Amino acid sequence: MARFGQVITAMVTPFDAAGRLDLDGARRLARWLQDNGNDGLVIAGTTGEAPVLTDDERLSLFAAVIEAVTIPVIAGSGTNDTLHSIHMTKEATKLGAAGVLVVAPYYNRPPQSGIDAHIRAVAGATNLPVVVYDIPVRTGRKIATSTLLGLAREVPNVLALKDAAGNPGETANVIAQAPSSFEVYSGDDGLTLPLLSVGAVGVIGVATHWSAPEHQEMFRAWASGDVAGARAVNQALLESFSYETGDDSPNPIPSKVMMNHLGVPVGQCRLPMGPPADFVLERAKKVWANLEARRNKAA
């Protein structure tokens, strides 16, 4: 079993009708996710709208969710500022997080040497497992394979990668050359099955908000050697993957609409994401109806 489990949701951050952080809503959502097939949670990541949370809000969110559930909670403590990331990582450690998520510095566009030094400095501020988050579409920089391997080999608590780089072939090189204790999680729902084929251990997902049972089913099928079964589940999830983000409705807007539709109130996104267009709810209803029909057929 992977260190944090196989199916982990990058949880949305609930806000109330006035746009204030809803800690009771965060606790309810975290428990709902735990009860509906998730092995762990990432909080205050991309999907959690970390860039629009104050430090106090982020730390309050860490504390509330860690207290609310019994599954591992990975705290999104990384920013594009190394000293700030060190501070947030120390605070997350004090609050009892199971690990921290450290994203490659965004906007700054540092060289590989800067990315490497940033992650080493943050990892040195904690004894918790560090999950490196590589998402070049949002950061503007790909973490090079050589940088990832250096971190995996030389920094004892750099123990995992959330891979949203979109290149399973290169991820295969990372997995082949990294220590056996270094775990790779898919950070792109649509590439989870391809990444399983090269050695990924799980997913830190978005559609897992509402499809964790199907993801668990896909992982079980894959582990048992039922490749056709895993492929069939993946095909059933394609509609969810298409729904969860897009240029006309980027992540996390669709996930919040879906959770509200399912009766788990999470409010709307803060600007600059802002409220959803009307079509997003109609798509959510269709995606959920199709997934529910599949579940009923299998029951």
Active site residue 90: no
Give strand pairing partners of 8: 40, 204
54-84 burial string, b = 16+ CB within 10 Å, else e? eeebbbbbbbbbbebbebbbbbbbbbbebee
Neighbouring C-alpha atoms within 13 Å toward the C-beta of 106: 16
Of the listed 162, 185, 243, 256, which one is catalytic?
A: 162
Of the listed 133, 142, 185, 243, which one is catalytic?
A: 133
Query: Residue 53's CB: how many other CB atoms inside 10 A?
Result: 18
Per-residue tokens: 218: 């896909």
**Residue with tokens 């959510």, as numbered in its chain:** 284
Residues with catalytic roles: 133, 162
